[in-house]
Structure 1
Amino acid sequence: MKSISPNIFVNDLPATIIFYTKLGFNLTDEVTTPEGEKVFALMTNGSVIFMFQTFASIEGQHPMVRRADGGSLLLYISLNNIQQYHDDIKDHVTLLTGLEQTFYGATEFSLCDNNNYLLTFAEHD
């Protein structure tokens, strides 16, 4: 195996693009229907790649994808210089936790994205 790029289903793709741009992600690819509706976005920040796709674009294709927003998925993102990243984004999004030292030696903070997915950013010693 070489990498993993989660395809995260969302209801509001334009709002998701705006939110992840605040986290320093860049829109690197997108798919738009002939009617002009964005249904897929590929966003990157360094070597982290997220794909976002609308629930509506897969309606009827994969019945197991049926929840509205968010859920039990936690996206754990490792990075360097967590203090600087935290300071860069803290005024642009709502944090769930501030910078905390964990019992397993990581420095972490968490936030909830606009789709109710939990993101935890971590730097390991």
Structure 2
Amino acid sequence: MTRLIPMLPVRSMPASVEFYRKLGFTVENRNDSWRWAMLCFGECRLMVDESINVHPQSPRTSVLYLYPDDVKQYHRQLRDHGLAVPDLETSFYDMTEFRFDDPDGNRLWIGQAAADGQQS
């Protein structure tokens, strides 16, 4: 195995693509007839897919943990893009992080080791 790419079930692929663009992702591949898109951010990849969303009203339980180079700067960037993200906190496991949901209820945790000088 050489890599793993999460595929998230979404209610609206176009809305999800727009949301993840605000996070800094770009579209690597998209097929509107499939209602699917592959997004990328550097070496990271994420697929969003309406066709696998067999229970669109069900709560999501998946978590994506994203590791930016500078969590404080990335946090400011998301707020500058109009996203309502909570304040940065330092976790009991020594990560400076913040957590929020995407439009479909998938959990996003974004953090960096507090020892990297990024404490809130």
Q: Is the 8 A contact 1:94 1:112 kept in 2?
A: no
Q: Is the 8 A contact 2:60 2:104 kept in 1?
A: no
> Matched residues in 2 for 1:51 and 1:105: separation?
30
Q: Is the 8 A contact 1:8 1:51 kept in 2?
A: yes
In structure 1, the gaps of 5 or more residues are: 59-64
> Aligned ranges for residues 71-110 of structure 1 at < 5 Å?
71-91=60-80, 92-95=82-85, 97-110=86-99
Deviations, residues 6-35 of structure 1 (Å, cap 9, x unaligned)? 1111111111011111111001101132xx
1 or 2, which has the higher strand percentage? 1
Most deviating of 65-74 and 99-108: 65-74
Aligned residues: 112
Percent same amino acid among aligned pairs? 28
Per the alignment, in what secondary structure is the counterpart of residue 87 of structure 2?
Answer: strand
In structure 2, the gaps of 5 or more residues are: 116-120
Once the two structures are TM-superposed, the CA of residue 2 in structure 1 deviates from its matched residue by 2.3
> Matched residues in 2 for 1:113 and 1:27: separation?
17
TM score, norm. by length of structure 2:
0.84
CA RMSD of aligned residues (A): 1.7
Superposition misfits of 4+ residues, deviation over 6 angstroms: none
